[in-house]
Chains A and B, each alone.
Chain A
Amino acid sequence: MAIRLKRSDYQKMLNHAVSGLPDEACGLLGGTISENGDKVVKAIYPLTNIDHSSEHFSMDPKEQLASVRDMRQNGWVPLGNFHSHPESPSRPSDEDKRLAYDKTASYLILSLQNRTEPVLNAFHIEGGDAVQETIVYDEA
């Protein structure tokens, strides 16, 4: 299983994370699941981090609801979410693992620790264990 992500959507995610500094940024991924199980991202939904913190994030539930409805209207499903780590590596923290309640979701973490070389990784988190997932970048 891989996550297929358009370069333009990656850029949108990165822009959201950079513009949110010094706080963590967050958002949702909507799209389709292909026959081979790949998650094909069709849209990135940048959401507000209502914690307004550089060390924590909580997604705005109203924006979350609006995003899920938009996905539904487009025939998409929620595929997962993303958040940034402004000063730490692209790996789930203990808190990320503890708060990962949705085992069907992919958890993408964008590290801005090195501002000139952002790092994006994806994880499946279940029962406190994180397994890295493959991200395949598509042009467009």
Chain B
Amino acid sequence: MIITVSGEKKEYNDGLTVKQLIEAEEVESPLYVTVTVNDNFVKSDEFETALIKDGDVVEFLYFMGGGC
């Protein structure tokens, strides 16, 4: 299947989960990454079960916050 990851078209096998994609893309600090699929935010407790489908658009975002 062809998906778009962070703006780039990529080919992956069917049946890919969000967690597997995070690992395959070697995302840094994966515990703190936020994932959207087709602009929908995926809950972190669904990373292991949420499947990526052909044509999906995936983005990785880091939580950005802090305090004074």
Which residues of A pack against B, CB within 8 Å?
A: 24, 26, 28, 51, 54-59, 61, 64-65, 68-69, 72, 81, 83, 85-88, 92-93, 95-96, 99-103
Q: State in angstroms the CA–CA spacing of A28 and B59 once bound together.
A: 17
B65: which A residues are within 8 A, CB to CB?
51, 56-59, 99
Known: A58-B63, A72-B7, A101-B62. A65 touches B36 (CB 8 A): yes
Main secondary structure of the interface of A (DSSP, over half): mixed
Q: What range describes how many residues of B lie at the interface?
A: 10 to 19
B39: which A residues are within 8 A, CB to CB?
65
Q: Nearest chain A CB to B7's CB is how many angstroms away?
A: 5
Q: Nearest chain A CB to B21's CB is how many angstroms away?
A: 17
Q: Nearest chain A CB to B18's CB is how many angstroms away?
A: 16
- Is A87 touching B68 in the complex (CB atoms < 8 A)? yes
Which residues of B pack against A, CB within 8 Å?
A: 7, 28-29, 32, 34, 36, 39, 41, 59, 61-68
A102: which B residues are within 8 A, CB to CB?
28-29, 62, 64
- Is A85 touching B68 in the complex (CB atoms < 8 A)? yes
Given contacts A56-B66, A58-B65, A96-B67, 14 further A-B contacts (CB under 8 A): A56-B67, A56-B68, A57-B66, A61-B63, A68-B59, A83-B66, A85-B68, A93-B67, A96-B66, A99-B63, A99-B64, A101-B62, A102-B28, A102-B29
